C-alpha cells in the first residue's frame, strides 16, 4: 500500500464548476500537507500548504485537512480552463520544504469552456 | 518561472550508458532536492543536499549519485542506465531545509 493515495482521474468538468480533489494517507506522522499544480511538461508549482486540521482558503482554492480520517482535499471554485492541469497532493512529517516529500500520483483535471 | 534551472531539457541515450543532469537552484537557496517522476510511480524523492552536504536519501538506486558544489549547483549522475530509468527528473530548491520547495522544469530522460 502506498503511503499517499490519490484518485488519478481523469476529471473533466464544465467551466464554473466546483472541483473536489482528494488524497488519503496512512502515515499518522504526516503533519504538513501541500497541493501542487503541474501543467503539461512543466515542473510542479506549489498552490497551498497547511499544517493543522481544518480549512485554509486562498482565492478560489480551499485546502481541507482531516487528520482523524487521514484525508485531505482541495476545492476549486468557479473553475477556469486555465485550471486544467494535474494536481498533486504532497505531505511530510517535518515542514513544507523538508526532505522526503511524499506525493500522490496526481489527478488530471480538464475544465471545458 | 520558479527560478530553478535544469539542463538539458531532453536526453536520449542507450542502455548501459551514463548521463549527468544539472540543476541550478534559485538565488540564495541552500537546499537542492532531486525527484524522479514516472507514469506508474508518480513523483519519488531521491536525495537532498543542503549547503554541499547530503541531508536525506529517498529511494535512490546505487547506480545513481548526486553532489552539490560550492556554488550550490547540483548534479545527478545516472549510470548503467536501464529502460526503466526513463522518466522525468526534477530538481527543486528551498531556502533552508524546512522551507517551501520550488521545482525546476525537469529533464526528460529516454533510455533506448
Classify A13 as helix, strand or coil.
strand
Which residues of chain A does B26 touch, with a Cβ-Cβ cutoff of 8 Å?
Answer: none
Classify B7 as helix, strand or coil.
strand
What does the pLDDT read at residue B26?
Answer: 96
pLDDT tens digits, one per residue of B41-85: 788 999 999 999 998 888 899 999 999 999 999 999 999 999 999
- Mean of per-residue pLDDT scores for chain B: 93
For an interface test with B, which of A23, A98, A105 has the most B Cβ atoms less than 10 Å from its Cβ? A98
Going from the C-alpha of B111 to that of each of B11, B13, B81, the distances in angstroms are 8, 5, 7
Which residues of chain B does A104 touch, with a Cβ-Cβ cutoff of 8 Å?
Answer: 42
Measured in Å, how far apart are chain A's first and last C-alpha atoms? 37
CA distance A85 to chain B (A): 15
pLDDT tens digits for chain A (113 residues)? 678 999 878 999 999 999 999 999 998 888 889 999 999 888 999 999 888 788 999 999 999 999 999 999 999 999 999 999 999 999 887 754 456 788 999 999 999 99
Proportion of chain B above pLDDT 70, given as a percent: 98
| Residue pointed to by grid coordinates 515542514 | A95
Amino acid at each position: 500500500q502506498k503511503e499517499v493515495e490519490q484518485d488519478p482521474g481523469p476529471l473533466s468538468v464544465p467551466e464554473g464548476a466546483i472541483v473536489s480533489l482528494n488524497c488519503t494517507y496512512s502515515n499518522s506522522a504526516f503533519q504538513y500537507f501541500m497541493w501542487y499544480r503541474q501543467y503539461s511538461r512543466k515542473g510542479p508549482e506549489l498552490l497551498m500548504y497547511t499544517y493543522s486540521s481544518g480549512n485554509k482558503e486562498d482565492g478560489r482554492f480551499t485546502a481541507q485537512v482531516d487528520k482523524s480520517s487521514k484525508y485531505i482535499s482541495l476545492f476549486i471554485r468557479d473553475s477556469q480552463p486555465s485550471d486544467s492541469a494535474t494536481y498533486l497532493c504532497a505531505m511530510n512529517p517535518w515542514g513544507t520544504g523538508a526532505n522526503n516529500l511524499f506525493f500522490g500520483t496526481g489527478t488530471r483535471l480538464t475544465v471545458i469552456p | 518561472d520558479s527560478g530553478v534551472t535544469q539542463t538539458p531539457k531532453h536526453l536520449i541515450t542507450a542502455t548501459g550508458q551514463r548521463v549527468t543532469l544539472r540543476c541550478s537552484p534559485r538565488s540564495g537557496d541552500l537546499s537542492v532536492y532531486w525527484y524522479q517522476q514516472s507514469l506508474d510511480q508518480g513523483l519519488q524523492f531521491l536525495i537532498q543536499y543542503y549547503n554541499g552536504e547530503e541531508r536525506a536519501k529517498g529511494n535512490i538506486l546505487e547506480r545513481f549519485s548526486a553532489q552539490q558544489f560550492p556554488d550550490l549547483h547540483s548534479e545527478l549522475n545516472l549510470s548503467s542506465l536501464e529502460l526503466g530509468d526513463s522518466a522525468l527528473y526534477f530538481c527543486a530548491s528551498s531556502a533552508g531545509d524546512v522551507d517551501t520547495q520550488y521545482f525546476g522544469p525537469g529533464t526528460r530522460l529516454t533510455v533506448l
